[in-house]
């Protein structure tokens, strides 16, 4: 798999290269994106959910905070939306 070009230090791949790297149907990508978005929104807007996640993280001895998880979900969500856009249009224009 070869990068088509560099932009902001992120590699940009063609749709064919993305399909080879992540072989899934567009509707499957949409489903995964929906779930990630939903969990991120739930954690952002439900204090009880954040408390439960914090308790889980603390019980497990992790150094990850709830906001680390929310930030990671947001980043993953953005990347999934970019992949879905590239899969639909054939012209991904963001770094992946």
Tell me, rounded to whole angstroms, the distance of Cα 71 from its chain centroid.
10
Q: Can you list the residues of the chain whose pLDDT is less than 50?
A: 1-9, 92-96
Q: Is residue 6 part of a domain?
A: no
Q: Is residue 74 part of a domain?
A: yes
Q: Is residue 56 part of a domain?
A: yes
pLDDT at 93: 46
Total of domains in the chain: 1
pLDDT at 43: 93
Q: Is residue 44 part of a domain?
A: yes
Tokens describing residue 96: 């992946």
Q: Is residue 14 part of a domain?
A: no
Number of residues written out for the chain: 96
pLDDT at 13: 58
- Domain hosting residue 36, numbered range: 24-89
Tokens describing residue 68: 């680390």
Q: Is residue 96 part of a domain?
A: no
13 burial type by CB count under 10 A (0-12 exposed, 13-18 middle, 19+ buried) = buried
């Amino acid at each position: 798999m070869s990068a088509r070009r560099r932009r902001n230090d992120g590699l940009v791949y063609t749709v064919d290269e993305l399909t080879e790297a992540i072989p899934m149907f567009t509707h499957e990508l949409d489903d995964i994106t929906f779930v990630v978005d939903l969990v991120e929104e739930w954690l952002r807007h439900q204090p009880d959910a954040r408390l439960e996640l914090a308790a889980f993280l603390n019980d497990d001895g992790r150094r990850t905070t709830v906001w680390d998880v929310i930030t990671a979900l947001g980043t993953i969500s953005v990347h999934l939306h970019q992949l879905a856009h590239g899969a639909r249009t054939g012209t991904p224009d963001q770094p992946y």
